Structure 1
């Protein structure tokens, strides 16, 4: 993957980790208002996850890069996202739009980070759906970041 700069998040932490990866997945938005996106189609998603914290683990990692990729790539690569339990066909707040996928990625990563002793936080997910379209998700203060 080519080096790319992403919008940065101002934060008070000493360490910041960014992990880039991609996954191929299909989805559809089960709503008439979604137009053509209501039909099943696929994307090669490119994601950048930003994690920050003050404490390193016993190995000297904020978090292992490979673990972040595994949490998301292994779950979503070559799947129909609509079939994943994190998305819901009857709740528009959980349709697999790029915005909701980015938020879901953040939540999945944070769920893992919450089990670690050094407790870093996921502060941003950048998700590119096409070469010209992307979303950025940052948890609200009081959700994960800053808690």
Structure 2
């Protein structure tokens, strides 16, 4: 099994839709630290699990300096962003989204792990 990860920073705005009062329902932004984890039993024709540049284009290129409420089909919580990321890259099985220092959401697509998770 081959594993790769790509870390990047994404600056974007959002406002959460919540069932309770919170300052997070107001428009605000973050500099998210995002780490994407990919794996494959076989390398592609280029000898890669996934091209780091393609990962960056799919995630950073789409989200950076955007308004996440318009870009994503879900309420843009850190958890939902992590889940959305795993769906954008076929070999991605896990994503971590750090919204602020100490606040990190992780999503693991169990259908892509086969009971095994690395990195």
TM over 0.5: yes
Partner of 1:62: 49
> 1:34 deviation in Å?
5.2
C-alpha root-mean-square deviation of aligned residues, in Å? 1.4
Partner of 2:18: 31
User: Distance in 2 between the 1:79 and 1:22 partners?
Assistant: 13
Q: Which moved more, 1:26-35 or 1:131-140?
A: 26-35
Q: Which moved more, 1:40-49 or 1:55-64?
A: 55-64
SS in 2 for 1:102: helix
User: Distance in 2 between the 1:58 and 1:95 partners?
Assistant: 37
Q: How many pairs does the alignment contain?
A: 114
Unaligned runs of 5+ in 2: 115-119
Distance 1:65 1:48, change over 3 A: same
Partner of 1:48: 35
Post-superposition, which runs of at least 4 consecutive aligned residues in structure 1 deviate over 6 A? none
TM-score (norm 1): 0.73
2:102 paired with 1:132? yes
TM-score (norm 2): 0.89
Higher alpha-carbon Rg: 1
User: Distance in 2 between the 1:125 and 1:81 partners?
Assistant: 17
